Homo-oligomer: A and B are copies of this chain.
Amino acid sequence: MKKNDFRKNIKLTEPIFNKLKALMKVKDVKQYELIEILLDSYVTNKLSEKEREFFNYQMEQLEELRKEEH
């Protein structure tokens, strides 16, 4: 992963950041890797069928935007 790839910042409160940090130690992965694990796990296990369809639709929209920008 190139340094240049990390172009998006998100801001967290200290308590939420600490939770993330504690979980990083448990799983022994990097920050961005953990965020992706959490996202994939939630999408797979916690979304209803309707929500997952809407999620995939949103992903397609964002992907099209990204293509237009680049």
A residues contacting B by CB (< 8 A) are: 1, 5-14, 16-23, 25-26, 31-32, 35-43, 45-47, 51, 54-55, 58-59, 62-63, 66
Contact of A38 among B18, B26, B38 (CB under 8 A): B38
**Copies of this chain assembled into the complex:** 2
Cβ–Cβ contact B32 & A12, under 8 A: yes
**What separation, in Å, do the CA atoms of A59 and B21 have in the docked complex?**
8
Query: What are 6 A-B pairs at a CB distance below 8 A?
Result: A11-B32, A23-B55, A25-B54, A25-B58, A41-B42, A41-B46
Is the contact region of chain A dominated by helix, strand, or loop, or is it mixed? helix
Minimum CB distance partner of A69 in chain B? B14
Cβ–Cβ contact A10 & B35, under 8 A: yes
